[in-house]
Amino acid sequence: MTERDRLDLRGLLPPNVVSPDVQIERFMVDLKRLEVHARDGPSDPNALAMWRILNRLHDRNETMYYKVLIANIEEYAPIVYTPTVGLVCQNYSGLFRRPRGMYFSAQDRGEMMSMVYNWPAEQVDMIVVTDGSRILGLGDLGVQGIGIAIGKLDLYVAAAGINPQRVLPVMIDVGTNNKKLLEDPLYLGLQQHRLDGDDYLAVIDEFMEAVFTRWPNVIVQGTAGVAIAGLLGAVRAQGRPMIDFPRQRIVVAGAGRLACYLFL
């Protein structure tokens, strides 16, 4: 019995059985055709079009998506993450086609402990969380900042070999102070000003309690934690004791907002 017979697909597909490699080749030909007509680098509208093609592949065939990304990581990392992901986040409500990840909002207070079980995966190893308040130096993008969490985890899967079924991008929507988004009828998030102070912390605390109740060993990533892990890992890779850490010379490429934050 063939695979098509087992899955009741006979007659629903063209007769030629196409191997995964040929499917990838077909996709790459389509993507390269777009690149031929590109005028500039990854920051121009062509990059956003490439992101949309890759995202559609992710929607319909996750295995092929990651295979393409792994085989072309140097070329497509700037498309699925920085710098293109900044443009994606700015336009996310208009680009939205299907949900990816989880959304916890200020309206979910009192419900997070139960709603965390709506995520279908029993095991989650890594969660990347954002509240959308500071996205790549672009400021407050509200719920549209979920694109950062999605793109970051895509790179972790492709470059670090993390199981894509065991990662979770999360958006914590506590509102936005972005006037344009507050007035945009297409905006997907809460159209209210951001919570702050104790109200904000109450949402974060409830989210953290819910996550660690369901997945006690999950890593919830923060930029500061990842930065210090990288620095300590660099000391270990040199074969030096951790006591040498204060004597390390640290260089950060660029003087962007994130680079400056790391030194504060």
Active-site residue, 152 included: yes
Q: Which domain holds residue 243?
A: 226-263
| Same-domain pairing of 241 and 175 | no
* Residues 103, 146: Cα–Cα separation, whole Å: 9
Residue 66 maps to a domain: yes
The beta-strand segments (E) located in the chain are 102-105, 126-130, 167-173, 219-221
The pLDDT tens digits along the chain (264 residues) read 678 778 887 666 666 677 888 778 877 776 676 555 444 444 456 888 889 889 999 999 999 999 999 999 999 999 999 889 998 999 888 888 888 999 999 999 999 999 999 999 999 999 999 999 988 888 999 999 999 999 999 999 999 899 999 999 999 999 999 999 999 888 999 999 999 999 999 999 999 999 999 998 777 766 677 777 888 888 888 888 888 888 888 777 766 666 776 666
Q: Known binding site for (S)-malate: residues?
A: 134
Q: Which of 102, 113, 103, 132 is nearest to 206 (CA)?
A: 113
- pLDDT given for residue 154 in this prediction: 96
Let me know whether 198 and 253 are in one domain: no
What's the CA gap between 59 and 61, in Å, rounded?
Answer: 6
Going by the annotation, the residues of the binding site are 134
Tell me what pLDDT residue 36 has: 53
Tell me the pTM.
0.77
pLDDT at 221: 66
Q: Which of 152, 179, 180, 261 is catalytic?
A: 152
How many C-beta atoms lie closer than 10 Å to residue 146's C-beta?
A: 31
Q: Say if residue 103 is in the same domain as residue 46.
A: no
Q: Is 91 domain-assigned?
A: no
For residue 246, the model assigns a pLDDT of: 82
CATH number at residue 107: 3.40.50.10380
Asked whether residue 104 falls in the same domain as residue 37, the answer is no
Q: Is 261 a catalytic residue?
A: no
Give the CATH number, domain containing residue 39. Answer: 1.20.1370.30
- Residue 219, beta-bridge partner list: 126
Burial class (CB in 10 A: 0-12, 13-18, 19+), 21: exposed
Distance CA 114, CA 194 (A): 24
Q: Which of 65, 81, 92, 187 is catalytic?
A: 81
Residue 104: name the closest of 81, 64, 76, 132 by CA: 132
- Cα pseudo-dihedral 144, 150, 155, 161, rounded to 10: 170
pLDDT of residue 249: 82
